[in-house]
Structure 1
Amino acid sequence: MLSRKYDKSGKRRKSVKFVIADSKLEAEYIRRFLGQLSPLEESRLCEIKYSLQAHHKGKLPNDAHLLRFLRARDFDVAKAKDMVHASIIWRKQHNVDKILEEWTRPTVIKQYFPGCWHNSDKAGRPMYILRLGQLDTKGMLRSCGVENLVKLTLSICEDGLQRAAEATRKLGTPISSWSLVVDLDGLSMRHLWRPGVQCLLKIIEIVEANYPETMGQVLVVRAPRVFPVLWTLISPFIDEKTRKKFMVSGGSGGDLKEELRKHIDEKFIPDFLGGSCLTTACGLGGHVPKSMYLPVEEQEGASSSDDPLHSIYTNTATWRGYPVEVVIPIETAGCVLTWDFDVLKNDCEFSLYFSTEKIEQPPVRDGAQSPTTILNPVEMVSAAIGGASHQHPDLQCAPELKVGTPQLSIEEKPVLFQEGDSMQGSHYCSRAGTYIMQWRVPETTAGHSSTFDFGSHKCRLIYYYEILNSENFRGSVASLESCRSSSFSSIAPQTPPTPGTPRNT
């Protein structure tokens, strides 16, 4: 049996004695604060606790949190102890114990992050609501950075631990986890922005390693058809036990409300999900103004190989008459091409072409290159003069192709972007073939200058693109079709029974 004395609130007394006689008090403590434990589970808890006390000085996780690590490792003491040891070091390195006291949420998070704690579910677990479909992933990441989003997540988790402990004391029964409601209304391809997904994966990795078994239930509501793509990207990084706690509903209105009533008291169902309970503590969500973005130059100065804002972008430049072109072969129809770029200096036009021909990728110019290193004297004069007096091919990489012929067409018409603009886009590739992204400096039609100031004819930008192959998520789309109804359905794959093991009926 556990041999430490605790007061009625579950806190350790200052004077600690190891005793055996006071078994009634200890049994009551276990019942109220830890839940039903088998003799083996109780002995494993004592084993890991006393082992940690012998090897670590300072603050250690309490019994309830140690149990989370043990459950995450199926009560394998050696594996759980390694996990706790790494978490203790991590907490010290990042000063996590003081994050609720010392970290202040940036203004952009207070105003635009659409998440908050919201009462509790029917099991008494604290409930957190995240309106993911209303989150401007790129705007949030560009305005406050990865570090602040990680700290936001840690503050939510630390707050969750405190709320679970308070619920335990209030209800007189163990509450070791919390509930999460994720509203996907508004989710679109822009939420698949790769730096945002990478940031999410980093957060999942941290939470899985340091806050195991804290997620009691995840209710995903109003899931659109793009959700399977997102789920395919992130689900491999979520622990199998946690994946089994995800329940998805694609319904809305009164049917969804009826389903929510099975898990949440009607008086606590949020107003935006058909209930009457207001969620005034949540941010508004919506697009973050670009005026709140951190300067790109400042971000570049802090770039690192593991920073998703910088590790995947290409820095390049285009001069008048000499566009930047990225050739993308698509072998299978049904893929989705996504892109993102920022115009750092001057203006440019962006277009997307499609060709039935096979085209070789031209070398992409580095943004730091001078035009004198890539253009000969005649080309330099042509680039500087520009204008209608000098005709340029539709594609620099395949000048023999003309728009309007069967071999070349415009998929996305030219759109002008000005200095400081940031663009996310996607295109459904209905045909197999070659797609070409193109950025070019706009041609002047009248009163163009004949100056040889190459800086005025240069546009600098950073970009990245990604192909979402339909084969990677087609299976998820099929498996999640059952989630299109208003009823909640599990999205965890069924684990095949071990040979010789009887099936449950």
Structure 2
Amino acid sequence: MFLTRECLLRYLRAAKWDSSAAFTRLMSTLLWRREYAPHALPPEHVSPENETGKQWILGYDLNARPCLSLNPARQNTNPSDRQIQHLVFMLERAIDLMPPGQESLALKIDFAGASSGKTPSLSTGKQVLNILQNHYPERLGKAINLSLPWYVSAFYKLITPFVDPLTREKLVFPARMKDDEEAEIINYIPKEHLEKEVGGSCNFEYRHGVYWGALVELSTVWERSYFIKRFKLVE
């Protein structure tokens, strides 16, 4: 179920409590959801996009937000509509896994090992921003960017004019750990919910054949359990 009391409040907050503007934005999203059907994207359709583990949901940040990790170095496909659908699919799964009372997620983007050829194009970046800002308002709690190479910094500068000022404030750029120093990222995500490669203590290895099916099943169970409790449904 999409159109809940919490949903209405998110759109009102995003529109700075202008009810007319919030209504317009919400109607636009309802039309988009009817045509794009993000809640009904088949897992098997977007599964090839994630065979190398370029995205995964792992753990929660210090504010109990589910963490969606993006790993550009693991990019395995050419630009296409399915790439965008894959990101939307993962956003929907992260929302499914939000605990009661939580409405936002943490986005962690690790650019380590990524080449310039794997950076999204400006048009793709604008398309993703449009979806995030217009159809998932108030869903981004923090965007944690790691190991930015110069060309990604340039990319951010190109898309900055298209980023809402409130969204811009949620972007953070913690330094990676050096030698025995603690990684700055633990100021946002606890060690036990963080991969060892970025300064955590979680020994996580992505295996698509195991992870993908488990993610689909877990998000379905959590979503159903949440709405049974939320609306006191009976079997």
TM-score by length of 1: 0.38
Q: CA deviation at 1:252?
A: 3.3
Q: Deviations over 1:108-157 (max 9, x none)?
A: 3232241100010111111111122x143xx512xxx5221121122112
Q: CA deviation at 1:257?
A: 3.6
One-letter identity of the residue aligned with 2:95: L
Q: Deviations over 1:220-271 (max 9, x none)?
A: 1122233321111222222211110001134333577442222222212212
SS in 1 for 2:77: helix
> Is residue 2:56 matched to residue 1:116?
yes
In structure 2, how many angstroms separate the alpha carbons of the residues matched to 1:221 and 1:60?
Answer: 32
The match for 2:116 is 189
The correspondence for 2:23, drawn from 81, 86, 109, is 81
Question: Does the 8 Å CA contact 1:182/1:219 hold for their aligned counterparts?
Answer: yes
The match for 1:177 is 104
The match for 1:233 is 158
The higher relative CO (CA closer than 8 Å, separation ≥ 6) is in 2
Structure with higher strand content: 1
SS in 2 for 1:261: helix
SS in 2 for 1:253: coil
The match for 1:279 is 204
In structure 2, how many angstroms separate the alpha carbons of the residues matched to 1:208 and 1:90?
Answer: 13
**Counterparts in 2 of 1:95 and 1:275: CA distance versus 1, 3 Å:** closer
In structure 2, how many angstroms separate the alpha carbons of the residues matched to 1:239 and 1:114?
Answer: 26
Query: Once superposed, which parts of structure 1, at least 4 consecutive aligned residues long, lie more than 6 Å away?
Result: none
The correspondence for 1:248, drawn from 173, 192, 195, is 173
Q: Deviations over 1:150-205 (max 9, x none)?
A: 211221122122222xx11xxxxx21101111111123432456xx3322321221
The match for 2:34 is 92
**Counterparts in 2 of 1:81 and 1:151: CA distance versus 1, 3 Å:** same
One-letter identity of the residue aligned with 1:182: I
SS in 2 for 1:112: coil
One-letter identity of the residue aligned with 2:189: I
TM-score by length of 2: 0.79
**Counterparts in 2 of 1:282 and 1:237: CA distance versus 1, 3 Å:** farther
In structure 2, how many angstroms separate the alpha carbons of the residues matched to 1:180 and 1:282?
Answer: 21
Q: Which runs of 5+ in 1 are unaligned?
A: 1-58, 169-173, 284-505
One-letter identity of the residue aligned with 2:40: K
> Is residue 2:85 matched to residue 1:140?
no
Q: Which runs of 5+ in 2 are unaligned?
A: 209-235
One-letter identity of the residue aligned with 1:65: C
**Count of matched residue positions in the alignment of Structure 1 and Structure 2:** 208
Question: Does the 8 Å CA contact 1:122/1:264 hold for their aligned counterparts?
Answer: yes
The match for 2:226 is none
The match for 1:263 is 188
SS in 2 for 1:180: strand
Question: Does the 8 Å CA contact 1:223/1:249 hold for their aligned counterparts?
Answer: no
Structure with higher helix content: 2
Q: CA deviation at 1:216?
A: 0.3
Q: CA deviation at 1:79?
A: 0.3
The match for 1:163 is 97
In structure 2, how many angstroms separate the alpha carbons of the residues matched to 1:212 and 1:175?
Answer: 14
State, as a whole percentage, how many aligned pairs show the same letter: 20
Question: Does the 8 Å CA contact 1:188/1:226 hold for their aligned counterparts?
Answer: no
Calculate the aligned-residue CA RMSD, in Å. 2.3
SS in 2 for 1:217: strand
Q: Return the index of the structure with the highest Cα Rg.
A: 1
